Structure 1
Amino acid sequence: MLSVRCPLCLERVEVPLDPGARARCARCERPILLDRPLKVAQEDFDATVLGAPVPVLVDFFAEWCGPCKWVAPLVDEIARDYAGRVLVAKVDTDQAPAVAERYAIRSVPTLILFEGGEERARSVGLEPEKLHDMVRRAADGDG
């Protein structure tokens, strides 16, 4: 199970990692979908990302960033392709400055792969091959 916050009502929800499961928020009944990137707020970062039972790819981005918009379709594709094996999260560095500072995010997009609460790999900018390789290795247990 994975602990996430419902994007509609902000209730904390435990959801199964099975990509075929139809998880819903107990409060507002909105579907909780893990086959797309999950926006994570600063206050939820530790519980959602560091506490996840699977590897987590975090896309540190900013709304104003052009290259972040270029990498977004790739991040969406990874979320779909690895649903249930790798969680994909997005953190807006303007909304989560303490998290950005903790992980020394100096430019966006920066994508960090976490496993067991630890940073395992990092990609800065648009590096599709590197990104696919680090996620594939984590999903296959070759971290």
Structure 2
Amino acid sequence: MKIYKIDKGNQPPMELLLLADPNKDYVDWYIDRGSCYVAIENEQIIGVYVLLSTRPGTVELINIAVAEKEQGRGIGRQLVEHAIRCAVEQGYETMEIGTGNSSIGQLALYQKCGFRITGVDRGYFQEKYEAEIIENGIVCRDMIRLSISLAR
């Protein structure tokens, strides 16, 4: 598997990006302002993430997704680790990430990669999304915020 940054002129893999965030307007906004990276295996895009500079020294890892048929192979972890390396190389000091309270697997993954919970945006998904989101039998209501220090 190879991970590459795609050029702004190239079309990002929207079907994968929408797995991570079902609101196309939000995804378009992220893509326009951030840097999109894709994981390719056997000439197929199997994963994606976006890095978005949010304030001096801080970058947010957003829209991380793995093709459904490829999940469970450790690709998500490889994407997170790649994003961390890229952020360090670009001189960022902190990386942030947010996920839903119902995203049990993602919460575990991010913590295994060294992220720590820094806060909760209560009601975030109910306020920002029209349709109710249910994962793992849990209503997704709150955004769990995590971060990792990149200072070595």
Greater strand content: 2
Q: Tell which structure's C-alpha radius of gyration is larger.
A: 2
Band of TM-score, shorter chain:
0.3 to 0.5
Greater relative contact order (Cα < 8 A, sep 6+): 1
State the TM-score, normalizing by the size of structure 1: 0.32
